[in-house]
Amino acid sequence: KAGVTQTPRYLIKTRGQQVTLSCSPISGHRSVSWYQQTPGQGLQFLFEYFSETQRNKGNFPGRFSGRQFSNSRSEMNVSTLELGDSALYLCASSTRIGSYEQYFGPGTRLTVT
Amino acid sequence: AQSVAQPEDQVNVAEGNPLTVKCTYSVSGNPYLFWYVQYPNRGLQFLLKYITGDNLVKGSYGFEAEFNKSQTSFHLKKPSALVSDSALYFCAVRDPFKAAGNKLTFGGGTRVLVKP
């Protein structure tokens, strides 16, 4: 079974631009969560989607948004990029809400200049 | 609010020696606890979890962890470390209530360096 895939793997954007990151969960998994990893703040939860609905949201500004499609693929969008948005964005998939195990993708490394 | 602390930023150990990575948590109710490992330029790999039952949990790659409710700790251990165990290790906690979903709260991470 293929693992969680994230595209693109690397991205360089300029401050003020917007960016869209994509995550394809493991086949059959319906829950997708997003995390931001930075050296200063560590790993922080962004949001979680299940059955195309946002089920949980972390403490991030409204510039961060996401969505999930009917095939469980998920995208997250960051508008008006700031230098501090430079991070590794990780996606995790699981079969359902309340599942004990989550499987992480390799991440998208976003650099904002 | 739940939280996780990993008191050591880095742990150095000689190959073949026991490895311990410390984790303490703060959560109301009975926690779900996890350990993940991250290699350079990679995502997180699941090592093991504690949900309920036996306090000693065995996981992947020879790792185990001991849940201690009185000390609110969940330390990761490996009897004999390998150079290939050098990586970044994260402890995480999840609220067991369904409304919390699958959200994980992570510790700050501990870098493990195993020297030959």
- For residues B110 and B9, the answer to whether their CB atoms sit within 8 Å is yes
- Which residues in chain B touch residue A99, judged by CB atoms under 8 angstroms apart? 102
Confirm or reject contact between B42 and chain A (CB < 8 A).
yes
Say if residues A64 and A89 touch (Cβ distance below 8 Å): no
Residue-level pLDDT at A98 = 76
Asked if the C-beta of B107 comes within 8 angstroms of chain A's C-beta atoms, the answer is yes
Nearest-by-CA chain B residue for A30: B102
Which chain A residues are within 8 Å of B41, Cβ to Cβ? 106
* Neighbouring C-beta atoms of residue B101, cutoff 10 Å: 25
Chain A residues with CB under 8 Å of a chain B CB are: 4, 31, 33, 35, 42-45, 48, 50, 55-56, 58, 90, 92, 94, 97-107
Q: Give the model's pLDDT for residue B98.
A: 67
Which regions of chain A are under pLDDT 70?
1
How far apart, in whole angstroms, are the C-alpha atoms of residue B114 and residue B55?
27
* The pLDDT value given to residue B37: 97
Q: State residue B67's pLDDT score.
A: 94
How many pairs of residues across A and B have Cβ atoms under 8 Å apart?
Answer: 65
To which residue do tokens 């991030």 refer?
A: A60
Are A47 and A32 within 8 A, CB to CB?
no
Query: Which is higher by pLDDT, B101 or B25?
Result: B25
pLDDT digit string, tens, across residues B30-87: 889 999 999 987 889 999 999 988 899 999 999 999 999 999 999 999 999 999 999 9
- Inter-chain touch A55–B101, beta carbons under 8 Å: yes
CB contact (8 A) between residue A33 and residue B36: no
